Amino acid sequence: MIGDIHGHLTGLPGSTATERMARLMAIAERMGIERQCVCMGLNFHYDPNPEDLRKQNDECLEALAHHHDQALGLVYLNPKHTEASLAELERCVAQGPMVGVKLWVAVRCSSRLLDPLVERAAELHAPIMQHTWYKTTGNLPGESTSADLAELAARHPKAQFVCGHSGGDWQLGLQTLRHSPNVVVETGGFDPTTGCVEMAVRELGVERVIFGSDVPGRSYASQLAKVRGAEIEEFERRMILRDNLRRLLRPILESKGMRP
Partner 1 sequence: MITDTSVFLGAWPFRFLPWEGTRAIQTRLSRNKITVAWVSLFEGIFHKDLAAVNQRLARECAVANEGNAGTRLIPFGVINPKSPDWREDLRRCVELHAMPGVRLFPGAHGYPLDDPELAALLKAVADRNLFAQVVMKIEDERTQHPLVKLSAVELTALPGLVAKIPTLKLQILNMQAGVPDEIVLPLARSGRVWFDFAMVEGVAGVARFAERVGTGQLLFGSYFPLFYAESALLKLVEADLPETDLQAIHFTQANGLVPSR
Q: Which residues bind partner 1 (CB under 8 A)?
A: 11-12, 24, 27, 30-31, 133-137, 168-169, 171, 190-195, 198, 215-222, 224-226, 228-231
Q: Give the residue with the Cβ less far from partner 1, 87 or 225.
A: 225
Sheet holding 183-186, edge to edge: 2-4, 33-39, 71-76, 100-103, 128-131, 161-164, 183-186, 209-210
* Contact predicate 83/91, CB 8 Å: no
In whole angstroms, the minimum distance from the beta carbon of 194 to partner 1 comes to: 6
Q: Give the residue with the Cβ less far from partner 1, 4 or 88.
A: 4
Q: Give the residue with the Cβ less far from partner 1, 85 or 144.
A: 144
In whole angstroms, the minimum distance from the beta carbon of 200 to partner 1 comes to: 13
In whole angstroms, the minimum distance from the beta carbon of 10 to partner 1 comes to: 11
CA-to-CA distance for 138 and 53, rounded, in angstroms?
26
Instruction: State which H helix or E strand residue 61 sits in.
Output: helix 50-64
CA-to-CA distance for 101 and 121, rounded, in angstroms?
7
Q: Give the residue with the Cβ less far from partner 1, 66 or 135.
A: 135
Phi, psi of 132 (to 5 degrees): -140, 145
In whole angstroms, the minimum distance from the beta carbon of 196 to partner 1 comes to: 9
